[in-house]
Homo-oligomer: A and B are copies of this chain.
Amino acid sequence: MKNFVIKKRCSDYEPLDLLKLRKSLQKSGASRSLCDEVVSEISPKIKDRSTSNELFKLARKTLAKKSQVLAANYHIVRGIYELGPTGYPFEKLCAEMLKKKGFHTRVGVILKGEHVKHEVDVIAERSDARLLCECKFHNKNTGKSNVKVPLYIHSRFLDILGHHGKSAYNSYAIFSNTTFSKDAITYAEGVGIKLFSMNYPRKNTFVDHIIRYKIYPITCLKTLKRRDIQFLLDKGVVVIKQLKEKIDLLQEREIKPNEIIAIQREINLLLKA
């Protein structure tokens, strides 16, 4: 296995790195010993020139046998990509997270500024804070958000406050399903823009938030078929809690009763975890 290579998304090859695989598994919350167990179980099954996607699926399947919750956690980053190609479901995911934090939310609102109108992805209001949010959804994990994003958001914030008054909103937040560049983080911290992404805040990332508040995207469900996901997204169902409340949509889709039971069981397991 020493000389095995793995084909990455970008079509390049890289040497198989079992340590890297173990680290990625650990992020799901699995213990060191469980990660070791999974790695040793799958390593004989890895083929030379496998794609990173095949490797991921193998690891996820093996982890799911140990714990469905950990398998869902392991799938979160990819699950969010699978909400694409449009950014709208990601906006709804961010809004659901803000709801869990006690905010009342509105998605896709046009607000007047001093000079021009702005489309604000999510407005979140709570008794102690009024937040404006920008949701940057990238289809590929090469789409790092650079410093231009917090730069234009800062001007947008100033323009909106210029019309609505300085105390109308407390701050702007930017959510991203990828990472922010170092400059983007430094600038945002400097001007008081809040960031939530896959690499920031370091000890409380977007994934940590999803796990804590159980805002799993429906794409994390092992029991839900790919072809049914788009149907649900089109109906505005993005997170598993929404699916639990609208489970009859699956009957409408003519999914077999025993499959529906399996989906419900997985949802309940994740929500109670």
Task: Let me know if B116 and A187 touch, CB within 8 A.
Answer: yes
| Binary contact readout A130-164 vs B (1 if CB under 8 angstroms, 0 otherwise) | 00000000000000000110111011100100000
Complex contacts, A114 vs chain B, CB 8 Å = 190
Residues of chain A from 90 to 128 with CB closer than 8 A to chain B in the complex: 114-117
Query: Would you give 8 A-B contacts (Cβ < 8 Å), ordered by A?
Result: A115-B186, A115-B189, A115-B190, A116-B147, A148-B152, A151-B155, A151-B159, A155-B191
- 15 more A-B contacts (CB under 8 A) besides A115-B187, A116-B187? A114-B190, A115-B186, A115-B190, A115-B191, A116-B183, A116-B186, A117-B183, A148-B148, A148-B152, A151-B151, A151-B155, A151-B156, A151-B159, A152-B152, A155-B155
Complex contacts, A117 vs chain B, CB 8 Å = 183
Question: A11 CA to B187 CA in the complex, in Å?
Answer: 42
Question: A116 CA to B187 CA in the complex, in Å?
Answer: 6
- Which residue in chain B gives the minimum CB-CB distance to A186? B116
Q: Residues of A with Cβ closer than 8 Å to B?
A: 114-117, 147-148, 150-152, 154-156, 159, 183, 186-187, 189-191
Question: A56 CA to B34 CA in the complex, in Å?
Answer: 67
- Which residue in chain B gives the minimum CB-CB distance to A162? B190
- Which residue in chain B gives the minimum CB-CB distance to A185? B116
Complex contacts, A148 vs chain B, CB 8 Å = 148, 152
- Which residue in chain B gives the minimum CB-CB distance to A115? B190
- Choose from B154, B159, B189, B190 the contact partner of A187 (Cβ within 8 Å): B159
- 3 interchain residue pairs of minimum CB distance: A115-B190, A151-B152, A151-B155
- Closest beta carbon of chain B to A183's beta carbon, Å: 5
- Closest beta carbon of chain B to A182's beta carbon, Å: 9
Question: A20 CA to B186 CA in the complex, in Å?
Answer: 50
